[in-house]
Amino acid sequence: MSQSTIHSVLATMNKREAMPVLTDKIRATFPYDHPDWAVVVQAAHSSALIGSGDGMRAIHQSKISPSMILDRMSKRMVATIVVLIENGSDPDGPAPTLNVLAHVAGAFGTGNPANMLDAAGNSPYWPFTPDYYAHVLLPSFGVRHEQALDIAFKNVEVAATITEILDEVIPTPTGDAPVVEPFNVQLNDAMVAPLDAMLSAATGGTITNIEPLFNEVTELRSQLASTTVDLAAARKAASAPVISTAPIEASGDIPKGTPKRVNAQKVFGRKHKLLNFDITVWDWDGPNPHVPAIDPHYVFDVHALSLLLQAWEQGLNTWCSGATGTGKSTLVLQACAHMFYMCRRVNMDADMARYDLIGKVDVRTVEGGGSETYFSDGIIPQAMVLPCVLLLDEADAIRGDINYAMQSMLEGNPMMLTEDGGRLVHPNPHFRIVATANTVGSGDASGMYSAGVKVQSRASINRYSVFIEVGYMPPAQEMKVVKSHVPSISTTLHDTIYQFVKLYRTAFKQGTITTPMSPRNTIVLGKIGSFYEGLGLTPHEAVEIAIASNVLSSADAADVDTIRGIADKVVGGTVDPTEDADAP
């Protein structure tokens, strides 16, 4: 959690809203069963801050627990612990630099708590005292002793807040504009005469009056203060998601469209915290041929979907990798379908030429029988001017010259068409780029895709910001998709195919089989098996035919015997489905 995030939590959330955010961070590093929490609880039991009386001291000894201790702190004090965690190393590592919970435990027994209680029996420093701030906590950040004393004791009635620690102790995060305060010094008559004399002596009599110089410095300082505020605001705006509300006017086959902001949970019909943010969806006046159709059988991986959507919200290029048939392209197409987002899909195979992507000079006939040359835009210029997703399929097969031609586009800059007199094509604010590939551009170590995959330039790969690994869905979930495609599938046939898929995927992950089998194969197994079962064959006989015709017939020769062995094991009844906890 960055310092700017902590600042934002403290500034925009009340305690009820902030506590889950902050305590989740603490628990991620120190679960409540971490042994160091026992030391904290024991220290709290013996502390004068807890016991009889009002406020904090009214807590009953038997109720002391890690969650209670955090709950009774102010949100600023909980944020202090988060800051300590962020600035310390792994507490279970070989050489921790900061034992965070030791600070919390030590705070209960440091100083004189009775002096720190207000009339209601509350300590604004809970559980830290000024003594602890001055002599232990702040020095752990490398703060000089004098500065620590100044921070801790500047106001004994109000705690040294987390904001003070962030602003006065921890450096401003990299990239933020330095804060320049206006010049607040005032000259009086008693100062002017001696300062004039010193200034005259220092300049050899060239400048004899300090007031004009002082006024000029004051004005420049004020202007600089104003400029830094404007710069900070500009940087914040520049880092914000690119969200345009301008409608798209109708043109040709594209109807008029209006962007709207809707919560992703509502758009995709899934209530999940990873989808609890607003996204841009489109409302078109008529059918849009570039919006993919919704597949009612498709099941989203929430984690992959969340990464994809946040990348689009931030205007980041995305690279989706995974084995054949895991649904990389389908993830993008179905996300677009639910958002009514236009998508232009292009296969980046070896035959893809520069003129296909960028464009070319062509000739056309004009009225009167003559001809003229003109520049015909390629796929990229056509897509860039639209609010659409450009889907680059098989991106790890792109030729080097093509990749470099796309770099200005990948950087979010206008593309210069040198063939068209240097015309610039500016990207639409809603234009997004997604690449799909079997690898992440570094070549194929498995050997399964080496015939088509190329090692891509690191300069090109570096222009992608979000990398999503798309894996096969769990077999039980995959069988739900099969059932949606083949509603009449029998239970025995269903379970037999399920066992085959589960064993096959395990062998594939272990490298025993190198031929991938996608959900498309599984759906076909269900369709073929159901057909032959309907002709009177047993479920096992029907599955045998389905596997032979769909899987074995297209498998690599080296995998055939292994696949046949898996099929024999399943069809022969040697796999007990009751042993499988994942069975649907």
pLDDT tens digits along 154-163: 533 333 343 4
Asked if residues 341 and 389 have their Cβ atoms less than 8 Å apart, the reply is yes
The answer, yes or no, to whether the previous bond of 127 is cis (omega within 30 of 0) is: yes
Model pLDDT for residues 563-572, shown as the tens digit of each residue: 999 999 888 7
Single out the residue of 551, 536, 547 nearest to residue 570, CA to CA.
547
Q: Among the three residues 435, 469, 503, which one is the final residue of a domain in this structure?
A: 469
**Structural domain contains residue 181:** no
Name the DSSP letter for residue 169: I
Model pLDDT for residues 232-279, shown as the tens digit of each residue: 555 444 444 555 666 777 776 788 889 999 999 999 998 899 999 999
Q: How many structural domains compose the chain?
A: 4
- Binned at pLDDT 50, 70 and 90, residue 150 comes out as low
- 234 lies in which domain range? 189-239
- pLDDT value at residue 169: 40
Euclidean distance between CA atoms 150 and 156, whole angstroms: 11
Question: Are residue 459 and residue 479 in the same domain, yes or no?
Answer: no
- Binned at pLDDT 50, 70 and 90, residue 584 comes out as very low
Question: Are residue 216 and residue 318 in the same domain, yes or no?
Answer: no
pTM for the structure as a whole: 0.55
pLDDT for 545 beyond 90: yes
Sorted by sequence, the CB contacts under 8 Å of residue 2 that are 6+ apart come out as: 173
Question: Are residue 398 and residue 497 in the same domain, yes or no?
Answer: no
- In the chain, the amino acid numbered 199 is L
**Structural domain contains residue 251:** no
- Binned at pLDDT 50, 70 and 90, residue 535 comes out as very high
Model pLDDT for residues 271-315, shown as the tens digit of each residue: 899 999 999 999 998 889 999 999 888 889 999 999 999 999 999
**Structural domain contains residue 75:** yes
Packing angle, helices 210-239 and 189-202, rounded to 10: 90
Question: Are residue 546 and residue 575 in the same domain, yes or no?
Answer: yes
Question: Are residue 409 and residue 284 in the same domain, yes or no?
Answer: yes
pLDDT for 345 beyond 90: yes
Q: Among the three residues 469, 503, 521, which one is the final residue of a domain in this structure?
A: 469
pLDDT for 352 beyond 90: no
**Structural domain contains residue 175:** no
- pLDDT value at residue 307: 94
pLDDT for 471 beyond 70: yes
- Binned at pLDDT 50, 70 and 90, residue 130 comes out as low
CA dihedral 255, 258, 261, 264 (to 10 degrees): 0
Question: Are residue 108 and residue 24 in the same domain, yes or no?
Answer: yes
Question: Are residue 224 and residue 341 in the same domain, yes or no?
Answer: no
Question: Are residue 311 and residue 267 in the same domain, yes or no?
Answer: yes
Model pLDDT for residues 88-114, shown as the tens digit of each residue: 544 444 333 446 676 677 666 544 444
Looking at per-residue pLDDT, the higher value among 72 and 41 belongs to: 41
pLDDT for 383 beyond 70: yes
Question: Are residue 264 and residue 301 in the same domain, yes or no?
Answer: yes
- Binned at pLDDT 50, 70 and 90, residue 229 comes out as low
Asked if residues 18 and 9 have their Cβ atoms less than 8 Å apart, the reply is yes
Name the DSSP letter for residue 123: -
- pLDDT value at residue 129: 52
Mean pLDDT of the chain, nearest integer: 75
Question: Are residue 9 and residue 131 in the same domain, yes or no?
Answer: yes
- pLDDT value at residue 407: 82
- Angle (CA) 483 485 487, round 5°: 50
Q: Going along 48-170, which residue ranges are E strands?
A: none
Euclidean distance between CA atoms 163 and 160, whole angstroms: 8
Question: Are residue 376 and residue 453 in the same domain, yes or no?
Answer: yes
Single out the residue of 285, 282, 289 nearest to residue 256, CA to CA.
285
**What is the mean predicted confidence (pLDDT) over 128-134?**
54
Model pLDDT for residues 171-224, shown as the tens digit of each residue: 333 444 444 455 555 666 777 777 778 778 777 787 788 777 777 766 776 666
DSSP lists the bridge partners of residue 361 as 375
C-alpha dist (Å) from residue 555 to 275, 438, 560: 39, 18, 6
pLDDT for 548 beyond 50: yes
